[in-house]
Structure 1
Amino acid sequence: MTKGGKFSAVANDVGAVKAAAISAVNKVLGILNLIIRKTLSININKIREDKLLREYSTLKQLELI
């Protein structure tokens, strides 16, 4: 990379530069995918727990437990 943040194409290595850029983008997308999945999983579990607590509270108020 040059100081301007662009890839340099020295000695006609345009294909290699493109491949390196694609590889870097794919790695970043893979990490983002993992972060999003983990965040969703955590939040879905929180929602499930909250729902179960509300159901338990309702049943307790009705004295079914």
Structure 2
Amino acid sequence: MRAEIDREGCISCGLCVSTCPDVFRMGNDGPAEVYVDTVPPEAEDLAMEASENCPVAVISVE
């Protein structure tokens, strides 16, 4: 499973980071970013939750 963020649409609210810090972090330039190549199995549910709850729907998890 992989996660992606459309960083141009990210509003830097930090919800994804607080929901799933094993996959997401705030980038040095502001918007959140994915910092793992593959979502760890134990973080898959939280990564999906972050995607579903993103207020601007810029996270995809496949």
Length-normalised TM-score, structure 1:
0.27
Q: Which protein has the bigger helix share?
A: 1
Q: Which protein has the bigger strand share?
A: 2
Higher relative contact order (CA 8 A, sep 6+): 2
